Chains A and B, each alone.
Chain A
Amino acid sequence: MILYLFIFSRHGKMRLKKWFQYFTDKEKTTLTTDLTTVILSRKRSMCNVLEYGEHKVIYKRYASLYFVAGIDWNENELYTLEVIHRYVQLLDEFFGNVCELDIIYNFDKAYYVLDELFMAGELQEPNKKAVIRHINSFEQTCQLDILTRNLEESIK
């Protein structure tokens, strides 16, 4: 099970945080600060898996962002790396050549994709096309809602 998932920049700015297990606020702050410091100080050639407390941390750097997932001891590390890669592929497909700015200014959409992909710390939809189809239909529903509200306001 994935316990948490972060995305942060190469300057330590947190861009996305998702918790799949309960942590107190203090634990969350400590965890994010510690992991950001540790991972940013690691060189490119170092291993993508490290141990932190009672769980393992898998991270991968994509361009200017680090994707970090905390997993429990019996989870497979390489599988987690693949899952992170699947999330990045989906973001890339959704935003079209995704960059850090897309995640900063459309963080809500990044969360939509994450919520379609994961549930309770497990991969719930491995099919990329299905996820994109669901997100697209959700976006269309949002736009229709905006359109309806605009029409209603223009009638008033």
Chain B
Amino acid sequence: MSTFKLIKNKILVLGRRGAGKLSIVKQILSITNQSIDDFNIEDKNHSGIKIPWKINTKYYSAKVDFWIDETVHKDHVNKEVIQGYENEENGIGKVVDAILFIFKKDEPATFDDIKVFTSFIQQYDPAITLAIGTGKIIQGVDDPYEDWCLENGFEYVDMEVTKKDNIDERIGIERILEALQSNMWEGLTRITQTAGKSSNIENDEYHHELIEALSQANLKANESTSSQLHDHNSAPFDDNDAEFFGDALPSQLEIENMHRQIFCDFDDEDGLDKVLTRLSNLREKSKSLSDEERRKLAASVACSFGMHMGD
């Protein structure tokens, strides 16, 4: 019997037919430079469609899925469907961590569709619950939506609202994206920040790149050691760094040349002073180089240090 672990990374998109569920999903994918397969969504009935989405932020990436389901008028609700959602054995509540409910603002009846799902939401408590209003604004009709949302823990997002100049706040599709990105999704992969990645250290770029190169050098040394320990299929001296990292790492010849250039007379009486002078000259030289060349120079200096200390 397979042990399949349920990952809570599904976004349930609910709404009446024609409310704009697919349109919202398409907009989200479009903003994040991803596309949707059209071949399986030609039918107007979008119930049961699953659309994969990869969330990429500067801190993590996560694979999630949009699950689209259609809602109906409360008088036509099939109770078995609602019970199916609430039934623990079906596992829907265990995998859904966000609910996007889309309704038409000019048709208040479409908003009432979510009320049958209230018990499901209270039972499983998804992290994100958004009520998204599409269509044109009708004067004075917004307030009932917002009141219900406030009482029931939904965040009301108006797709038609215009941005006010003095308020620095995301609205519409950007707010939906922000809300989805701010959740800690199960199964996310952290993007490791290296030592020199702090955004406020701006006064010494060369220092920053040297730190980054050394941190990376240390990480890669650890990784190659561990792969030699655990990868029984590879030959002991297999070095695939050049294959994986391409031009990022300096070649052995470049490292040896740099080492000779910096440390040639290190053992002399004033050898250390000369080394430091050479380093500061290299720093001055690097200011006139492009970003890529500067990183390469920093990497070769860092590796030459490592070579010197390994002697």
Q: Check B211 against A143 for contact (C-beta < 8 Å).
A: yes
Interface centre among A96, A100, A151 (most CB of B within 10 A): A151
Q: Check A147 against B199 for contact (C-beta < 8 Å).
A: no
Check: B59 CB closer than 8 A to any chain A CB. yes
Contacts of B306 in A (CB 8 A): 154
Instruction: Decide: A41 near B200, CB < 8 A? Known: A11-B155, A151-B309.
Output: no
Distance (whole angstroms) from the CB of A66 to the closest CB of chain B: 12
Q: Which residue of A lies closest to B214 (CB)?
A: A150
* Stretch from B73-81, B87-95, B174-182, B259-267 that touches the partner: B174-182
Number of residues of chain B lying within 8 A (CB) of chain A: 37
Contacts of A9 in B (CB 8 A): 182
Check: B186 CB closer than 8 A to any chain A CB. no
Q: Mark B166-187, 1 if CB is under 8 A from A, else 0.
A: 0011100001001101101000
Contacts of A11 in B (CB 8 A): 127-129, 153, 155, 179
Q: Check A154 against B178 for contact (C-beta < 8 Å).
A: no
Residues on A lying within 8 angstroms of B by beta carbon are 9-13, 40-43, 62-64, 94-96, 99-101, 104-105, 132, 135-136, 139-140, 143, 146-147, 150-151, 153-155
The 3 A-B residue pairs whose C-beta atoms are closest, nearest first, are A105-B59, A150-B218, A146-B195
Residues on B lying within 8 angstroms of A by beta carbon are 57-60, 127-129, 146, 150-151, 153, 155, 168-170, 175, 178-179, 181-182, 184, 195-196, 198-201, 211, 214-215, 217-218, 221, 305-306, 309-310
